[in-house]
Chain A
Amino acid sequence: MQRYNQINWSVSHAAHLLNRAGFGGSPAENEQLYSLGHEGAVEYLISGLTAEPSTAPPENIEAQNLLNLRQTMRGLAEEEKREHVRELRRTTFRETGQLRDWWMKSMRETASPLREKLGLFWHGHFATSIRKVREPFLMLQQLRTFHEHGHGTFDELVKHISKDPAMLVWLDGANSRKGKPNENFARELMELFTLGEGNYTEADIQEAARAFTGYRIDPRSRTFRLVPRQQDRDPKTIFGLTQNFSGDMVIEAIGRKKECSEFLATRLWNYFASDSHQAIPVKDLADIVRDENFSIADVLHRLFTSSAFYEPTAVANQIKSPVQWLIQLTRSFEMPLPEHRRTMMQFQQLGQILLAPPNVRGWIGGRAWITPSSLVARQNLANEILNRQLKPETCRSWIADIEPASPAVVERLSARVFCRPMRPEFHAKVQPAYLAMLEENPNSAAKNFVIHLTSLPEYQLT
């Protein structure tokens, strides 16, 4: 894969990098990233991967909370039991909300955007839902795993995930034992997490399932625990190889298959670099994945320093996920995130609820985000948030140094809204709208125009 030519480095490319390796930013942030030079900018983003979280997770989400409720429930009368179940539900609901709030806030506030962007990637990749897990504490542990190990080597991450309590509940691993292996995890491991359909046999799944038996969740600490007597330690034949496979060994065997590098390459490219309707340089990327020994941080470094990442076909043609959409909106306008519970209903309409992906395949993404109703919901939500939170004088301050009727106003404001410089044809198209607003109400014209721009189809792209 060809290396990016530094000569082409521009604010426009810096903005593209920040949009994709993060959630966009204000014009000043784009300028700042640009000033680091291309190598420096990529370096800055990559180094953020090992940063501490900028916002501490909610402290009250402890394994004990639900355990205590469950324990005291034993031996209660029917009526009291029901009240307890309700309390359990309320607690789960409240803690899940706190977790979402914290996560969204982290994405909004972070100084290490790639760290958060990658965390969201793994959440969609190893898509696990609170709707079955029902323990916010376990979901929090899984997010921590994504953050701590998400930038290391892929097989280390997969090993951690294979022992992740939320995953053990989600794909029934916690009930899988010698003589009665549950195939759910082994199947999704190969089909959805590492290899893709067609790159393994049914027999491989059945044998691999035996290797993951005996993985348990400690009833008190709610962390991983191996129970040897429920483990199947007999030889298994996987990918034509007969060995005393452990779960970790299965994951290593998967990692040695070429298809694994191709699978990972495709997923990373789709998330960071393109929409799904463009040819993917799979072979080249898979080579890189193997060259870098599956180190995610190193692969991302190569991706962001490849020329393909900055091709015109890759720039501004990706449909924003609802989360990207909201985080980018608030980052670009430098305003606080609306409380998640206030936007929960709308986010259902938009089709993305964190910690509750539709199923183990995660969100389909791309064009599947967009229906006529989800588009209208985006327009209305942007309108509502900006009307409430954006002050007319703030918008005026962005253009204070320019003659109000000058075409430069439109340029300046649309660069802010779209987190990237827009084409001259676009400016010519929207200019009349701005002038009409200026005539109607000079004081709030900038604000009204900004809101108008967020309702355009182009705004859904990044």
Chain B
Amino acid sequence: MIDSQPDFYTRRRFLRSTVLGGALSWSVPFFLERTFASLNAAAADSATQILTGRDSRILVVLQLAGGNDGLNTVIPYADDAYYNARPNLGIPDNSVLRLNDDLGLHPALSGLRTLFDDGGVSIIQGVGYPNPNRSHFRSTEIWATASDANRSESEGWLGRYFDNHCDGSDPAPAISLTNDMPQSFAAKQPRVISFSDPRTFRTGNSEDLSMNGSEEEGTMAGGSIENLAGAMPVDDSSSAEEFLKRTSLDAQISSTAIQDILRKSKSGGAYPGTRLARELQTIARLIAGGMTTRVYYLSHGGFDTHAAQSASHARLLTELDEAITAFVGDLKAQGNYDRVALMTFSEFGRRVSENASKGTDHGAAAPLFMLGGGVQGGLQGAHPSLTDLHNGDVIHHTDFRSVYATVLENWLKVDSQSILRKSFKTLEFMKA
């Protein structure tokens, strides 16, 4: 945890501390100088809009990559059809963590069950899309771009969210803990910062740009601020060069902010030693440290369980459960739980019937989890029928874009139609 009052990272403060704090040397890219004058002037009349890092809502998107077996995650333990289809893989009804008389969670999900009982988890069932595609690559793309199954789109749903609703004032509106940029963020001007290890998100000279400069308004040697000319437009009519300079500045600010926060902030509670837990902990620290980032993204892989699934699926769910439990505990201790919502998704569920290798093959619809202080807990929609199947798969009743629409409208508070390009019915899983 950060012991002192968190710092808020804005261009204004960054520039004040580096330029006026005297840290400016030739190693600070010279374009900063030009920016400074205009931003400093702008900052003077925007005092009421200083970002606090404490008031905005945050979305965490957690991808379960490979196709999570929804049927062994939220289990219809009272349905004989389940045990008939899964003679080897079916979870015995006495070990299922019961949610009601029909459904229960995989035994590895005890933490989620507790959260569910507290009303902090919504389980949205039967989520998918028409004409499901069973290729990992293609189905992930459909989820990422929120397209129809027979259409291809370049831009991701989160990319369009930022293109449409991000004014460019925040240097780090989205952070993905992945090496490359998830397609969900693809955009005309993608705003996401991605790194698999935050320590790599820095340049050789970023140490020269520490945030520890003076907070006070100083005067710059030689008084040359007056001589610095030129504004830095942030709209897309700016030249490619201005755009690059702006992004470069954003890179320096956010890199410095992230390194600074991670250096200062200690571990919040006990996290398990898994990669997923470490990444969620990084996110929790960034939230605690006052990053104004609105969307975080991370991926938990290995769900493509074609063979000998029992042990591996249980391990993956255990990792998921323990990491989320620690994350939620941390957020609660920080006092940030109410402004964070975490959504899981997977490109598809798996076939109802197990295969000959004690595994399951690519399927279609599956449940997803939504959790956080702002979530209206409970079960959303019925469990899809296990007897009325299409090509051996359960049939979806909730379009995944309805889930997105709900998150956009009721959590991020934006119009969803401009992002999803169609109107989708919203669901009742966020508190009013």
Contact = CB atoms under 8 A, between A and B. Distances in A.
Interface of A: 78, 82, 129, 131-132, 183-184, 187-188, 192, 275, 277, 317-319, 345, 348-349, 351, 358-361, 364, 367-368, 370-376, 379-380, 383, 429-430, 432-433, 436, 455-458, 460-461
A351 B181 CA distance: 7
A358 B202 contact: no
5 contacts: A129-B137, A359-B152, A361-B153, A372-B248, A436-B25
B150 interface: yes
Interface stretch (B44-52, B239-247, B417-425): B239-247
A317 B240 contact: yes
Given A277-B240, A372-B172, A433 B26 contact: yes
A372 B150 contact: no
A370 B247 contact: yes
B215 to A, nearest CB: 24
A132 B135 contact: yes
Given A368-B186, A375-B251, A457-B244, 5 more contacts: A360-B152, A370-B243, A370-B247, A372-B193, A379-B204
B226 interface: no
Interface in B188-237: 188-195, 200-205, 236-237
B195 A373 contact: yes
Given A436-B26, A460-B244, A361 B154 contact: yes
B357 to A, nearest CB: 7
Determine which residue in B26, B27, B155, B191 has the highest number of CB atoms from chain A within 10 A of its CB, and name it: B26
Determine which residue in A187, A361, A383 has the highest number of CB atoms from chain B within 10 A of its CB, and name it: A361
Determine which residue in A192, A319, A351, A373 has the highest number of CB atoms from chain B within 10 A of its CB, and name it: A373
Nearest to B34: A429
B152 A379 contact: no
B179 interface: yes
Contacts of A372: 171-172, 193, 247-248, 250-251, 254-255
B69 to A, nearest CB: 20
A432 B26 contact: yes
Given A132-B137, A318-B240, A361 B152 contact: yes
B141 interface: yes
Contacts of A188: 152
A360 to B, nearest CB: 5
Identify whether the interface residues of B are mostly helix, strand, loop, or mixed. loop
Nearest to B242: A457
Contacts of A183: 150
Interface string B161-190: 000000000011000000111010011111
Given A375-B248, A375-B251, A380-B203, A368 B190 contact: yes
3 closest pairs, A vs B, by CB? A372-B251, A457-B244, A348-B180
A437 to B, nearest CB: 8
A457 B183 CA distance: 25
Contacts of A383: 203-204
Nearest to A460: B244
Contact of B240 (A131, A319, A360): A319
B135 A345 contact: no
A13 to B, nearest CB: 19
B307 interface: yes
Nearest to B185: A371
A434 to B, nearest CB: 9
A272 to B, nearest CB: 16
Contact of B193 (A371, A433, A456, A457): A371
B29 interface: yes
A359 B192 contact: no
A376 B239 contact: no
A181 to B, nearest CB: 13
Contacts of A436: 25-26
B240 A367 contact: yes
Contacts of A360: 152
Given A361-B154, A372-B250, A372-B254, A82 B307 contact: yes
A455 B183 contact: no
Nearest to B244: A457
Contacts of B195: 349, 373
B172 A317 contact: no
Contacts of B205: 455
A360 B25 CA distance: 46
B304 to A, nearest CB: 13
B201 A457 contact: no
B178 to A, nearest CB: 9
Contact of A370 (B172, B194, B244): B244
A358 B31 contact: no
